[in-house]
Amino acid sequence: MQCHWLLALVLLASSSAWAKKVNLDYHVRLLPQSGQAEVRVVLAEGSAVRSLDFDLGKAGAYSDFKADGQWQLQGDGARGRWQPAPGKSQLSYRVQLAHRLANGGYETRMTADWALFRGDDLVPPARLDQQDGTELVARLSFELPSGWKSVETPWPRIGKQRFRIDNVSRLFDRPTGWMIAGTIGTRRARLGETEVSVAAPQGQGMRRLDNLTLLTFVWPQLQAVFPRNPSKLLLVGARDELWRGARAGHNSIYLHSSRPLVSENGSSPLLRELVHVFAQINDRQASDWIGESLNEYYAIELLRRAGGMTDDRYHALQAALERRGAGVTSLRTEQADAAVTARGVLLLQALDREIRLYTHNQRSLDDVSRALMRLNSVTTEEFVQLSESVLGRASEVLSSKLLR
């Protein structure tokens, strides 16, 4: 019986090796004059895919569709279904990469000299229906405007302006994460098993080495809590007319170049988004406080553990968190604001102390966080159950009215 199980495991592990590999190439031509990109999706063998059903999002983002085989817009243009023709088959379209905000600034931007955008926009998410025994090998290549020097993505480079797209958690591999192209400067370092790059357009005030130094400083502490080893991490930033914040993407982070490494309130926007990239905690059922508060908790804690925060500064930061979260009566919300996040951080700190006390310092909130990493998503009730399994008893901290 054991031999049969071993044989089944071997066959399962080798199934991808036996699959027929079909190239799926994304060719992108950046068009700075219109803030768009022209994208060609090329299948080496169209018969390997029965259909791709794309979620096109808001009207007008994608346009000028041309396809080999059948292409049909559905649901008032919200979806598009492609049935590729046999043989080499391609779908082409244009996509708007520059996105304005309501206040007149930009969330993503293209100028005559550079572009900073989300790879997620290049190819919309899609439901893939492919032939059994087929594996798509996805690659991304760029055609840059005249005078533009290079492009950086969070994906492994396999040639000049070419990248391999391989996401084991998805059936349909598509480019995701922050990307940057043009006349840019890049600083690199290898931290653990990860190639870390900090890239920004020249003359945009991005402190590349400062950011790289902070990442190097906290990296051992980060990996001790979140044992992930992405092959690449890309940090991008710029200044002119862009949103003045920080946001994580797939193995990548956007940080406005004016943002400090550590804010006056003691928090670090860069470290908060770094934790987001590594922890990858998704919530549901009005439990947004979990991910947001854990990101902020570790942004503080990693800096402290690395020796970047004195006790005096830590106590001042605690007082600021208490003031910010003083009026919060419940953490249960679909979108946690700054006050809810601050109150959530205080609860997590109390939970960490409780776990350390009752396990005689053998376990901590780190054990809870590593368990959360393995879940696709989490609710408040599941968080309580998981924490109490680590604690080994009912939690007094988590019996708080804040979680009801």
Cβ–Cβ < 8 Å for 142, 161: yes
Average pLDDT in the 214-236 region? 96
Question: Which of 270, 41, 260, 278 lies closest to 136 in space, CA to CA?
Answer: 41
What residues contact residue 117 under an 8 Å CB cut-off, 6+ apart? 37, 97, 98, 108, 109, 110, 178, 179, 180
Residue 238 pLDDT class (50, 70, 90 cuts): very high
Identify the DSSP state of 222. Answer: H
> Is pLDDT above 70 for 15?
no
pLDDT averaged over the chain? 94
Q: Where are the domains of the chain?
A: 20-98+118-174, 281-403
Geometric angle at alpha carbon 177, from 173 and 183, rounded to 5°? 120
DSSP strand E in 162-289: where? 162-165, 178-182, 184-191, 194-201, 232-236, 246-249, 252-255
CATH class of 281-403: mainly alpha
DSSP per residue over 27-44, as a string?
A: EEEEETTTTEEEEEEEES
pLDDT for 168 equals: 81
**Biggest CA pair distance of the chain:** 68
Among the ranges given (15-19, 199-203, 221-225, 268-272), the one the predictor scored with the smallest mean pLDDT: 15-19
Do 20-98+118-174 and 281-403 agree at the fold level? no
Geometric angle at alpha carbon 375, from 370 and 379, rounded to 5°? 105
pLDDT for 3 equals: 52
Question: Which of 392, 305, 297, 310 lies closest to 354 in space, CA to CA?
Answer: 392
pLDDT for 183 equals: 95
Question: Which of 380, 398, 401 lies closest to 333 in space, CA to CA?
Answer: 380
pLDDT for 104 equals: 81
Measured CA to CA, the distance from residue 134 to residue 154 in angstroms comes to: 26
Measured CA to CA, the distance from residue 347 to residue 218 in angstroms comes to: 24
Measured CA to CA, the distance from residue 288 to residue 328 in angstroms comes to: 15
Q: Tell me the pLDDT tens digit for each residue of 39-91.
A: 999 999 999 999 999 999 987 899 999 999 999 998 888 999 999 999 999 99
pLDDT for 70 equals: 97
DSSP H helical ranges for 151-260: 208-225
DSSP H helical ranges for 178-287: 208-225, 269-279
Phi, psi of 112 (to 5 degrees): -65, -20
> Is pLDDT above 60 for 14?
no
The domain 20-98+118-174 is placed in CATH, from the list 3.30.160, 1.10.3470, 1.10.260, 2.60.40, at 2.60.40
pTM value surpassing 0.85: yes
Measured CA to CA, the distance from residue 271 to residue 303 in angstroms comes to: 8
Q: Tell me the pLDDT tens digit for each residue of 140-175.
A: 999 999 999 999 999 999 999 999 999 887 889 999
Residue 4 pLDDT class (50, 70, 90 cuts): low
> Is pLDDT above 90 for 274?
yes
Residue 307 pLDDT class (50, 70, 90 cuts): very high
Q: Tell me the pLDDT tens digit for each residue of 17-34.
A: 567 999 999 999 999 999
Q: Tell me the pLDDT tens digit for each residue of 101-129.
A: 988 889 999 999 999 999 999 999 999 99
pLDDT for 19 equals: 75
